[in-house]
Amino acid sequence: MPGVPPPLDTDDTPADDTPADDVRADGRITALLERQMSLWVSNRDDVGALADWAPDGVLTAPRGVRVTPEELLGVIDGWHRLFTDLRIELTSWFASGDRSRLALEWEWHVTRRSDGARSTTLDAIVVDLRDGRIVRWAEYFDTFGSVEFDDPVDT
C-alpha cells in the first residue's frame, strides 16, 4: 500500500549475533551504571566509578557542560552544594551486541537547597565505551521545569 512504511524489524539480535539476553545478563554493564549513579548520589567515589572512565573520556550535558574525568568529582561536589536529596531511578537501558554503545533512561529526582523546590528530570543518555571504559557520556534532557536550570534569582 503506498505511503505505508514497512513493518519494523522486531529481531533484536545484535549484528554480531550475540543474543540480546546475553548482553543484559552480562552484569558488567549494570554494575557500571550503578557505580555512576552511586557517584552522583553519594558525592564520593567509594565504588570505583571514576575507574570506569577512560582518561580521554568526556561527559556532555545541555547548555554546553563538558567535563573530563579529572574534573568530574569537582563538578559533582559543586552540584551537591546547590542541590540535595538526589535519587536516580534507572528506568531502561540497552547495549549494542559488542557492548561498545549504551543507551539509557533514568529519572533524576532532586531538591534545590536554596528554596526546597523539587523536580524530576527525565534523562536520556548515550554512552560510548572503549575496552569497557567510558569515552563519551552524552546526556539529553529538557531543562524546562528542572530546578537545576530554573534559577529562582532570575524569576
Q: What's 122's domain CATH number?
A: 3.10.450.50
On whether residue 14 sits in a domain, the answer given is: no
Secondary structure (DSSP) of 92-110: EEEE-TTSSEEEEEEEEEE
Instruction: Report the pLDDT value the prediction gives residue 121, as an integer from 0 to 100.
Output: 93
Instruction: Report the pLDDT value the prediction gives residue 25, as an integer from 0 to 100.
Output: 56
- Alpha-helical (H) ranges within the chain are 20-25, 27-42, 69-82
On whether residue 86 sits in a domain, the answer given is: yes
pLDDT in tens, 128-149: 999 999 999 999 998 888 888 7
pLDDT in tens, 57-69: 999 988 777 889 8
Instruction: Return the residue matching grid coordinates 542541590.
Output: 83
Residue 119: its H or E element = strand 118-130
For residues 133 and 54, the answer to whether their CB atoms sit within 8 Å is yes
On whether residue 145 sits in a domain, the answer given is: no
On whether residue 65 sits in a domain, the answer given is: yes
The yes-or-no verdict on residue 154 having pLDDT over 50 is no
Q: What is the per-residue burial (b if ≥16 Cβ within 10 Å, else e) of 133-145?
A: bbbbbebebeeee
25 vs 89, residue with greater confidence: 89
pLDDT in tens, 30-83: 999 999 999 999 999 999 999 999 999 999 988 777 889 889 999 999 999 999
The yes-or-no verdict on residue 9 having pLDDT over 50 is no
Instruction: Report the pLDDT value the prediction gives residue 79, as an integer from 0 to 100.
Output: 92
Instruction: Report the pLDDT value the prediction gives residue 64, as an integer from 0 to 100.
Output: 72
**Phi first, then psi: what are they for 106, rounded to 5°?**
-145, 160
In the chain, the number of structural domains is 1
Q: Which domain holds residue 90?
A: 20-140
